[in-house]
Chain A
């Protein structure tokens, strides 16, 4: 694997391209991570209640003041592959 040498803060650009709902979510929960959809594939709450739409989750979270991790019952496990 070839290392890619980035020496700048991507966050500057990240902000520019971020989804509007995630920007709003970050105002309520600063430094929050976006929803990693690949790690939530088949998550029944995401599929059944939010129809796989992360923006709908952010909206719900802002209104109920809950993190998406709480709402979707997610906890990162470094020992598994997603």
Chain B
């Protein structure tokens, strides 16, 4: 009878490998490798035996491994799933309007919505199921058709990129502001938010602005009626509005300083001539000259290339883009950002005073005569709010403080709804 082989019982507790990653099996090999010992062809047990001879206790080593694993688990950040946020996001992504987007546009929008806070997502989801569809093109919202149009292929312009988005965010949220306005309000005109006390506030804001410009009481004593303003005062008022554009320049100057393009301190400008001169100093006029030279070169290359590829013309276009981005992007971003003011005056004065003829952001004359200032100011506020444009919100707080407060109240009311 063959002698029964007695296997030596291990003196340490066998610990199962953690999460199936084989860490325990690999442990003796790792220690041996660290000591410069060869383990070729050896089983784990044989390696342990070799290590024991060098005073290394497997029990201690397993204990160290367990401690290390525990520490790693404890130090790993706890990923909390915000169930409410996910629910809101699902309301948006499962809405019938969302289904009308192309696969790429869906991915792009979803990716950019992920950049919003839970509060912002909650606001966006409020009426998402009531939007009929999205369409592709420049920004508009149709109350009748219930569609919202934005450029779904765009990767965003300079301002969108500055704000950290890679889609047409400023337009999307502006139009979405109109949609929310339409949903919250009581009538179906599309400008339906009932501003309650804010109707007065907006008017007061405008009058205070006028007073500032006219230097009548420094904006503390609102005029009783605009009709009382004489022609000379209108002129002064209009000149005052030109002065308002100085604020755009101030913002542009700040950005340019931040970007290192301009080093000299800001100089106030009181005339359009001075304003243009100032823009010239900042490279704005250069962009026009650059455009002129680019246009000529582009055409010359187009004519010169008989193979029709226009490769050199395209290269020239690329160079021009880079130059333009370098010199003018901060200015253009801030001009767009100041739409909250420049658009407001055109609408508020029924297009009697518009700044869009001077290259600023505004609506057309026909539009300004038929629509009110609150609706557009709200849409612009909503866009600033959703894109977290703190510079834009600061402009609004400073120059339209009552409107800002009124909109904040409305925003919070929608949030609580």
Q: Are B144 and A79 in contact (CB under 8 A)?
A: yes
Against B, the Cβ 8 Å flags (1 = close, 0 = not) of A43-82 are 1101100011111100110010000000000101111111
Q: Are A42 and B142 in contact (CB under 8 A)?
A: no
Q: Are B151 and A44 in contact (CB under 8 A)?
A: yes
A28: interface (CB < 8 Å): no
Q: Which residues of chain B in 149-163 are interfacial with respect to chain A, using CB atoms and an 8 Å cutoff?
A: 150-151, 153-154, 157-158
B361: interface (CB < 8 Å): yes
Q: Are B366 and A43 in contact (CB under 8 A)?
A: no
Distance between Cα atoms of A55 and B370 in the complex (Å): 27
Q: Which residues of chain A in 2-37 are interfacial with respect to chain B, using CB atoms and an 8 Å cutoff?
A: 2-6, 8, 10, 13-14, 16-22, 33-37
Q: Which residues from chain A contact B361 at a C-beta distance below 8 Å? A: 37-38
B265: interface (CB < 8 Å): no
Q: Are A53 and B142 in contact (CB under 8 A)?
A: no
Against A, the Cβ 8 Å flags (1 = close, 0 = not) of B25-50 are 00000000000000000000000000
Q: Are B238 and A52 in contact (CB under 8 A)?
A: no
Distance between Cα atoms of A59 and B291 in the complex (Å): 8
- The chain A residue sitting closest to B231, CB to CB, is A8
Q: Which residues from chain A contact B190 at a C-beta distance below 8 Å? A: 81
Q: Are B356 and A5 in contact (CB under 8 A)?
A: no
Q: Which residues from chain A contact B364 at a C-beta distance below 8 Å? A: 33, 36, 39, 76
Select one of A4, A16, A21, A60 contacting B348, CB under 8 A.
Answer: A4
Given A2-B203, A5-B227, verify A80-B142 contact (CB < 8 Å): yes
Q: Are B353 and A55 in contact (CB under 8 A)?
A: no
Q: Are A56 and B157 in contact (CB under 8 A)?
A: no
Distance between Cα atoms of A60 and B372 in the complex (Å): 33
B252: interface (CB < 8 Å): no
Q: Are B358 and A52 in contact (CB under 8 A)?
A: no
Select one of B140, B168, B349 contacting A4, CB under 8 A.
Answer: B349
Select one of B172, B242, B355, B359 contacting A54, CB under 8 A.
Answer: B359
Distance between Cα atoms of A1 and B195 in the complex (Å): 10
Given contacts A38-B343, A40-B138, 19 further A-B contacts (CB under 8 A): A1-B374, A2-B226, A5-B225, A17-B238, A17-B358, A19-B359, A37-B356, A38-B362, A39-B138, A39-B363, A41-B139, A42-B157, A42-B168, A51-B332, A52-B336, A55-B359, A76-B367, A80-B140, A81-B190
**Residues of B participating in the A interface, judged by any CB pair closer than 8 Å:** 138-144, 150-151, 153-154, 157-158, 168, 170-172, 174-175, 178, 190-191, 199, 203, 225-227, 231, 234-235, 238, 242, 272, 276, 287-288, 291-292, 295, 321, 324-325, 328, 332, 336, 339, 343, 348-350, 352-367, 370-376
